Structure 1
Amino acid sequence: MYPEDVVMPMKAQLTQKGFIDLDTSEKVTEALNKPGTTLLIINSVCGCAAGSARPGVILSIEGAGKKPEFLTTTFAGFDIEAVKTAREHLVPFPPSSPSIALFKDGELVHFLERHHIEGHSAEMIAENLQQAYEEFC
């Protein structure tokens, strides 16, 4: 498990932009079963989370015409039970962090695994997500 002093600034990067911190299994279940559209980022300490995933999701919602109704995040290696529950909603995809998922009415409709994030710019991540927002939100 990662130390709190390392994780909290990385969580804050998203929560300061309106993302709800899902730090318990119950919060994940409630959030992902809501009617409407929910964006979930499984956050991580890795470089691709810092360089692409977090900036990409933030960029995707800034100035977007359509966007998810609910913005949520949980942290791999820190919110252990919450991430475990989130990953149950991501089947058949294997565990991946960072990763970004879009749910509509509790169903997974769009998913970016780590290999879709790694080596891609924040702008590319944002564009991919905005296309999903146009289709599903």
Structure 2
Amino acid sequence: MGTTAPTYPEQIAAPFRLELTEAGFEQLLTPEDVENALNKKDGKISLVVLNSVCGCAARAARPGVLLSLFNEVVPDNLYTVFAGMEKAAVNHFRENFLLGVTPTSPNIAILKDGELVEILQRHQIEGKSAGQIADELVGLYNKECNKKNSEEEIAGMRSRFIDRYKVDPLGV
């Protein structure tokens, strides 16, 4: 198989990809995708979820990220790269945008102008609920972000969230 082959069959990763892509996250599949998406000097905030098949990604990280997007202000760009699948893209992301950060997955990074602003690593995700993850991210969004969610965007996210998780994220 070698070190560049995916660690998991695509059938295992596909539902975990879909959980983010159906919410508007763009997949970064190659080093070029990573570079083109993140190495911009446009003042915009990018949220990058280093996705994973592990339990803490499924139980807290992905749902927490999705819950955080109901905030009034949100990142300008939403990206995801998948650990164990697109290994060259993940390596490029880690080597060029997470310099000095111990490699973990999942992780949730906020970048601006190609520079890391904040990161939640696996050890900061494990043992937390989706709501706790969302609260941490919302605090970061309120500090760093300017893009406002529209009522239409929130309604669409709410509908998708209810369909997927069978619970109303807004509690109404």
The TM-score range, normalised by the shorter chain, is: over 0.9
- Matched to 1:126, the amino acid is A
1:72 aligns with 2:74: no
Q: TM-score, normalised to structure 2's length?
A: 0.77
The 2-side partners of 1:130 and 1:33 are apart by 24
- Please identify the structure whose Cα radius of gyration is greater: 2
Uncovered stretches (5+) of structure 2, i.e. residues with no partner: 1-6, 146-172
Tell me: higher relative CO, structure 1 or 2? Use CA pairs within 8 A at least 6 residues apart: 1
**1: distance between equivalents of 2:94 and 2:87?**
11
Deviation at 1:92, TM superposition (A): 1.2
Q: CA deviation at 1:40?
A: 0.2
Q: Quick check: 1:7 aligned with 2:16?
A: no
Partner of 1:32: 38
Q: Which amino acid aligns with 2:18?
A: A
Counterpart in the other structure of 1:20: 26
1: distance between equivalents of 2:93 and 2:22? 21
Measure how far apart 1:121 and its partner are.
0.4
Are 2:131 and 1:123 equivalent residues in the alignment?
yes
> 1:42 corresponds to which letter in structure 2?
L
Residues 44-83 of structure 1 aligned to structure 2 (within 5 Å): 44-62=52-70, 64-83=71-90
Q: SS at the partner of 2:128?
A: coil
TM-score by length of 1: 0.97
- 2:95 aligned with 1:93: no
Read off the aligned partner of 1:122 and give its amino acid letter.
A
* 1:48 partner SS: helix
Matched residue, 1:112? 120
Q: What SS does structure 2 have at the residue aligned with 1:97?
A: coil
The C-alpha deviation readout for 1:45-93, integer Å capped at 9, x for no partner, is 100000010001000012x111100000010000111100111211111
Per-residue CA deviation, residues 86-106 of structure 1 (Å, 9 max, x unaligned), is: 112111111010000000121
Percent of aligned positions that are identical = 49
Q: Give me the whole-angstrom Cα distance separating, in 2, the residues matched to 1:17 and 1:96.
A: 23
